[in-house]
Structure 1
Amino acid sequence: MTGPTARPPRRSTLLRTTTVVGAAVPLCLAGWLGWQALDGSGPAGSTAAPTTAPAAQSGPITPGTPTPGTGTPETAAPGTTAPGTAPDSAAPGTPAPAPSDTPSDTPSAAGPAAPVSPTALTGRTIVLDPGHNPGNFAHSTEINRQVDVGNSRKECDTTGTETDSSYTEAEYTLDVSRRARAILAARGAAVVLVQDGDRPWGPCVDERARAGAAAHADVALSVHGDGGPAAGSGFHVILPAKVVAGKADNSAIVEPSRRLGLLLRERFRAATGEPYADYTANEGLDTRSDLGGLNLSAVPKVFIECGNMRNSTDAKRMTDPQWRQLAAQGIADALTAYLTTR
């Protein structure tokens, strides 16, 4: 997909531009009201959350090669969706329906009550995968190298997309991942970032996929911002399709990843007020078999496209640090619910 003519998104030549809560209702409502205050449509007085993360196991996973991303994750065939699904037809900017309108396949478990115990996730390990890398722009040869993802070969990594004001997807994903790490660490989890801005480029999609197993993680999640058409807005979650081909066999993670994805869709919307994407996916969910980060993962994993950075409304949200804190809250709440409810 292409962005506004004023400034098309920067990315690798082979890139396609479509890339990847459990608090109780009062906390979710408070988060939503905080964003409304920022947007001028709610009560004033919301307070920014801390922007720095505690030193909770932030080191990158180093085995193998470097990994995913694009304006959506990695490079993929445009509009790949689960068989039988159709894009959501809501108009751009349509407000999210009330939580009670969430489709019936959303998990019914309410998840941990707020405030979450500081030991709720003790003994659990979570891998967060910030899509792309700020340095990818200077390493086109390295990131365009083809790697095996089981059912095809893909670029090692991509540059990702950006807003019209040049706020890059790689900057966004790192910031939100660090914020989510801080929340999860405060709940007792050991949190590992696949890259923490400490690598010159990448890593490649196959290494990102291996990061979960390398860390002996319980779950992994890849954070992205999309690079869709400028008229489209909203977020969506990408689930793994079953892939048994070549070096890929993700059969064991498909079902638990779906449960994580449903929780993520629910908690992210509750925390941020962001509607489901109206230009891709179906009711905020997309199932794909073309992403190495999902094909090769040995632990439950999903991607979230937190919004469309090519859309002015979504860009306004995603460039606001207070909204990014809400996004991190939704991600952390979903992971907490996944690990503490069955």
Structure 2
Amino acid sequence: MSAPRRALVLTPALLLLVACTGAGPAAPAPPVAVPTSSVAASPAPAPARTVVLDPGHNGGNGSARAEVTRQVPDGRGGTKACNTTGTSTDAGYPEHAFTWDLAGRVRTHLEAAGVAVVLTRSSDDGVGPCVDERGRAGQEAGADLVVSLHADGAAASGHGFHVAYSAPPLNAAQSGPAVDLAGDLRDALRAGGFPTSDYTGRDGLAPRSDLGGLNLATVPAALVECANMRNAEEAAVVSAPEGRERYAAAIAAGIRTFLAGLPA
């Protein structure tokens, strides 16, 4: 077996001596052996991850009835309205404002973790985009996943969140990964102290066939209905900045959990 490779290391003192003496360089110090097995290899960089956040509805939808009622593909061979105005609390705090604020907060959490974030709309005073455009946003961005952000407008007695995914599945992303994403979001929201819905879905999960934004997705996609805005207790939570921050932290945690499970 050949002798291990040895590296010559000049200490700062020897470098100074070489630079300052007029009698020529001093005799080199004995070389310091650095076994090649002790040099740690640089870790491979983590793959870049991209997430599409889809804040539901838009602030201009209410004044653009013709546009938002225009029929677009629903992903299952039928059509549905381009979009809707969304719901609101009884005090008038609109769903579109809640989802827009929430998306910005989730984005901040994800970007701090090194995740690239794409939003399906750029402001809260526009119209649309339609659900079919939102459904294609993940694949067009080359994203690892899509999370659509909403709040519900059910009977005031109902409370709790639920996470929807497309079912029956229409492609490989919907048949398994989307269900896993929905489960990770559900678990993170539970860990954040939010109760699961007592009026729809089961155990916080809701398979849906009627949501075009999920049906048209070919990357893992899920829709979070964070709360019932018509329930007085939950309306107070979604209306408060600290409440929205709690939702954002939980949703971001669920997304990070799913991303951590993806192959390198």
Give me the TM-score of the superposition, normalised by structure 1. 0.61
State the alpha-carbon separation in 2 of the partners of residues 121 and 149 from structure 1: 36
Q: SS where residue 107 of structure 2 aligns?
A: helix
State the alpha-carbon separation in 2 of the partners of residues 150 and 181 from structure 1: 27
Supply the AA of the counterpart residue of 1:200: G
Structure 2 residue aligned with 1:88? none
The correspondence for 1:191, drawn from 117, 123, 136, is 117
Instruction: Map 1:160-199 onto structure 2 (within 5 A).
Output: 160-197=86-123
Supply the AA of the counterpart residue of 2:115: A
What do residues 56-81 of structure 1 show as CA deviations (whole Å, max 9, x unaligned)?
A: xxxxxxxxxxxxxxxxxxxxxxxxxx
Structure 2 residue aligned with 1:257? 178
1:139 aligns with 2:64: yes
Q: SS where residue 134 of structure 1 aligns?
A: coil
1:275 aligns with 2:200: no
Structure 1 residue ranges without an equivalent (≥5): 1-119, 244-248
Task: Check conservation: 2:59, 2:125, Cα contact below 8 A.
Answer: no
Give the 4+ runs in structure 1 shifted more than 4 A: none
Q: Indicate how the Cα distance of structure 1 residues 294 and 178 shifts in structure 2: closer, same or farther if over 3 A, else same.
A: same
The alignment's C-alpha RMSD in Å is 1.5
Q: How far off its partner does 1:121 sit? A: 7.2
1:127 aligns with 2:47: no
Q: SS where residue 62 of structure 2 aligns?
A: helix
State the alpha-carbon separation in 2 of the partners of residues 121 and 296 from structure 1: 29
What do residues 268-295 of structure 1 show as CA deviations (whole Å, max 9, x unaligned)?
A: 1212x11111111111111011110111
Higher relative contact order (CA 8 A, sep 6+): 1
Supply the AA of the counterpart residue of 1:167: Y
Q: How far off its partner does 1:128 sit? A: 0.2
1:202 aligns with 2:128: yes
Structure 2 residue aligned with 1:311? 231
Q: How far off its partner does 1:333 sit? A: 0.4
Q: How far off its partner does 1:204 sit? A: 0.2
Task: Check conservation: 1:121, 1:336, Cα contact below 8 A.
Answer: no
Supply the AA of the counterpart residue of 1:140: R
State the alpha-carbon separation in 2 of the partners of residues 195 and 295 from structure 1: 19
State the alpha-carbon separation in 1 of the partners of residues 103 and 175 from structure 2: 23
Q: How far off its partner does 1:196 sit? A: 2.6
Q: Percent identity?
A: 47
Supply the AA of the counterpart residue of 1:331: I
What do residues 296-334 of structure 1 show as CA deviations (whole Å, max 9, x unaligned)?
A: 001100000000001001101110101110100011001
1:300 aligns with 2:226: no
Give the number of aligned pairs.
217
What do residues 123-148 of structure 1 show as CA deviations (whole Å, max 9, x unaligned)?
A: 10000000000111111110000111
Supply the AA of the counterpart residue of 2:159: S
What do residues 35-66 of structure 1 show as CA deviations (whole Å, max 9, x unaligned)?
A: xxxxxxxxxxxxxxxxxxxxxxxxxxxxxxxx
State the alpha-carbon separation in 2 of the partners of residues 149 and 259 from structure 1: 23
Q: How far off its partner does 1:198 sit? A: 6.0
Task: Check conservation: 1:132, 1:160, Cα contact below 8 A.
Answer: yes
State the alpha-carbon separation in 1 of the partners of residues 259 and 165 from structure 2: 18
State the alpha-carbon separation in 2 of the partners of residues 235 and 192 from structure 1: 24
Larger of the two Rg values belongs to structure = 2
Structure 2 residue aligned with 1:78? none
State the alpha-carbon separation in 1 of the partners of residues 111 and 62 from structure 2: 31
Q: SS where residue 217 of structure 1 aligns?
A: coil
Task: Check conservation: 1:254, 1:300, Cα contact below 8 A.
Answer: no
Task: Check conservation: 2:52, 2:145, Cα contact below 8 A.
Answer: yes
Structure 2 residue aligned with 1:86? none
Q: How far off its partner does 1:242 sit? A: 2.8
State the alpha-carbon separation in 2 of the partners of residues 213 and 133 from structure 1: 22
Supply the AA of the counterpart residue of 2:155: P
Supply the AA of the counterpart residue of 1:267: A
State the alpha-carbon separation in 2 of the partners of residues 166 and 213 from structure 1: 35
State the alpha-carbon separation in 2 of the partners of residues 320 and 199 from structure 1: 21
Q: Indicate how the Cα distance of structure 1 residues 211 and 199 shifts in structure 2: closer, same or farther if over 3 A, else same.
A: farther
Structure 2 residue ranges without an equivalent (≥5): 1-44
Q: Indicate how the Cα distance of structure 1 residues 121 and 324 shifts in structure 2: closer, same or farther if over 3 A, else same.
A: farther
What do residues 215-259 of structure 1 show as CA deviations (whole Å, max 9, x unaligned)?
A: 10011100000001011111001011135xxxxx43433210111
